[in-house]
Structures are given as C-alpha cells and as structure tokens.
Amino acid sequence: MNKSSKSIHQSLAPSTHPPIVVANWKMHFGQAETVTRLSSLRTKLKTFSHDVKVVVCPSFTSLPAAKTLGPSIVHLGAQDVFWDERGAYTGEVSPLMLSELGVEYVIIGHSERRQLMGETDVMIGRKMISALAHGMMPILCVGETADERRQQRHERVVANQLQRALRSLPPPPRHRRLYVAYEPIWAVGTGQPADPAAALSMAELIRQTLVDLYGGPLVDSSFRTLYGGSVDSANITQYVHPGGFTGALVGTASLEPASFVTILKAVKKVFA
Ligand code: PGA
C-alpha cells in the first residue's frame, strides 16, 4: 500500500469518538512509586476535561495501591490477563482478580510478551475472550518486526495477527469497545517511531481487516485503532488526530507525569 499521507487522511473518516491515551508502565514501579506518580498525574489533570480518555497500566502488584487512590479521570488498566478464571496456573493473574481491583482496560498481546514470553496468537485470542467476558476493554497489540517490514510482509503479518486473535471471538455488542494498537516492534522503546504516513496506512489495513470480519457498522461503533512505538509530546499529533489514529499506547514517555501530561494536552488540542 503506497498511498500518500494525503489520500490516507481522506480514506479514514474523521473520528467522532473521544481520543484515548494509554500509559504502559511495564515493569517499572512498585507500589510506593506508583502511588507517587499516579497522584502527581491526577493533580496535574485536575482541571483536565473528559474529552481525552486517560488510562494508566501499572504493574500487577501495584494495582491495589493504585485503586486505593479512588476514582478519577485516570482509568486503571492491566498489562496482561489470563484466559481462565481459576485453577492450577502458577504465576498467572485471573480476570476475576483484575475486575476485583477495578481494572477497566487490559493490554493483550504486547510485543514484549509475544517475543520474550512466547505468547502465540491462540493464547492472545483466548485472553481477548477472557477480557471481554469479564467486562474489561481489551487493547490488542499487533505489529511486525523490522525483518518482516524489510521483506514487505508487514501487511500480511498484521492481518494474520488480527484474524487469529479475533476469530474465536463472537461479534462484540455495539456498546462494547475494543482497541487495536498498531505497534511496529522496531519502533517500541527504540526512540525511532514509524513514519506517520506508513503508520496510517497500517491503520487503514487494520480497519479493512476488521470490516472483513465484522462489517463496517460494527467496526465503527466498537473498534478504535491506536498507535504505539516511541510516541512523545513532539510527535503524538502526527499519529493521533481527527482522520488518523483514535489514540496512542505510550511507554517511555508516560513514565514521567509531566511528560505524559504534555502528550495529553497535545491530543486534547488537536481534537478541540
Ligand atoms: P514506547 O513503548 O513508547 O517506549 O516505545 C510503547 C509500548 O511498549 O507500548
């Protein structure tokens, strides 16, 4: 797909949905540090409107501490979930345990889990079903490696990841939200974000793959597409804007509350 950025902008209908920005804090902070950073973020966002959805995904062990801060404009997400509710699954975390902690969003199939922990599309598909069955909104990560892009296989790879993760999933009811994060693996944590036009072309591919699976009306009502991979306050609006991605998944630049707030304000401005 070698379309110019202009034609891509035209082919993705301007979004009427509020943008969403998700912070992935990975394996960075324990309970005390999570509370300090989350409190600082909440304070900085006191006057921030609900026009932008804000989600923070701390480590599993920090979720209870995060929950003690009470409800706020900052929603709570988890970085993974297991597919069964209970049983002999040493080290896994049940969807029931996450629901109990007020977790509303869950990242599924992050490239670090696929690459380092050997997660397969089948496992990811089961986790998608689990999240939805327990009322959590999944953020399904897809993306190609540098080699796959070099070999021009990126579109096939991403379409396959989507089809395999979603094929056992019944069509979601219209009021449910499912997020698909396009995260090219070579852009995650490298400081080398994807070319915005190339990323938007992948957003278009993702949308078309979803439309083939579920039909246009359901995709428009239930699915949102995010970009992730070296997002910062200087580049965020090249990806997230009306006619572009509906949101972003942010790692490194979300760790400092001040830098994350700059990203949120930039998103708010571009959708105002
Ligand atoms: P990054 O991480 O922003 O540091 O590239 C993104 C992610 O892992 O989701």
Check: CB of residue 141 under 8 Å from CB of residue 228. Answer: yes
CA distance readout (Å), 109 to 103, 120, 179: 17, 8, 12
Ligand 1 site residues (CB inside 6 A) read: 24, 183, 188-189, 228-231, 249-253
Pairing of strands 53-57, 74-78: parallel
Tell how far the Cα of 87 is from the centroid of ligand 1, in angstroms.
32
For residue 232, give the ligand 1 atom closest to its CA.
3
**Which of 3, 18, 79 lies closest to 242, judged by CA?**
18
Check: CB of residue 77 under 8 Å from CB of residue 56. Answer: yes
Check: CB of residue 236 under 8 Å from CB of residue 254. Answer: no
Q: Please give the structure tokens belonging to residue 74.
A: 């900052």
For residue 252, give the ligand 1 atom closest to its CA.
4
Instruction: List the catalytic residue out of 75, 110, 154, 241.
Output: 110
Q: Which pLDDT belongs to residue 13?
A: 57
> Global pTM?
0.94
For residue 191, give the ligand 1 atom closest to its CA.
5
Tell how far the Cα of 158 is from the centroid of ligand 1, in angstroms.
18
Q: Which pLDDT belongs to residue 10?
A: 38
Q: Please give the structure tokens belonging to residue 121.
A: 């599309």
Q: Is 75 a catalytic residue?
A: no
Strand partners, 54: 21, 74
Q: Is 40 helix (H, G, I), strand (E, B) or coil?
A: helix
Per-residue pLDDT of the chain (272 residues; tens, 9 = 90+): 333 333 333 345 555 678 999 999 999 999 999 999 999 999 999 888 778 999 999 999 999 999 999 989 999 999 999 999 999 999 999 999 999 999 999 999 999 999 999 999 999 999 999 999 999 999 999 999 999 999 999 999 999 999 999 998 988 888 889 999 999 999 999 999 999 999 999 999 999 999 999 999 999 999 999 999 999 999 999 999 999 999 999 999 999 999 999 999 999 999 99
Instruction: List the catalytic residue out of 75, 155, 183, 241.
Output: 183
